[in-house]
Amino acid sequence: MLICDWLLRNSADGFDVTDTLRALHPRLQTILVSGFPSHDLKARAESGGIFAFFEKPCDIRVLAEAVAQASGVPRR
C-alpha cells in the first residue's frame, strides 16, 4: 500500500510514484492526498486506478477506514 501526496518535489507526482511501484508490485493499492484538489485530478485518480483520493486536511478516521479497506483487513 502507498499513501502519497499528489504534489511532490521535482517533476514527479503521486501518479508517477504509483506507476513506478506498480511495475514492481502490480497489486499495489494507492491512497492519494492533495491540498489542491480539482475535478481533473479526481478524474485522473479514478481512471488511474487510485484506490482512494482525499483532500487535505482529511478526517483521520476516514483515512484509517480507507487503509483498512485497501489492505483487506476488517475493522473492529
Mean pLDDT of 38-56: 94
Torsions phi, psi for 58 (to 5 deg):
-120, 160
Can you give the pTM of this predicted structure?
0.88
Q: Where are the alpha helices (DSSP H) in 1-76?
A: 14-24, 39-47, 60-71
Number of other residues whose CB lies within 10 A of the CB of residue 14: 24
- Grid cell for residue 60: 483521520
Q: How confident is the model at residue 75 (pLDDT cuts 50, 70, 90)?
A: low
Q: How confident is the model at residue 76 (pLDDT cuts 50, 70, 90)?
A: low
pLDDT above 90: residue 11:
no
Give the residue among 54, 65, 51, 69 at the shortest CA–CA distance from 2: 51
Mean pLDDT of 37-44: 93
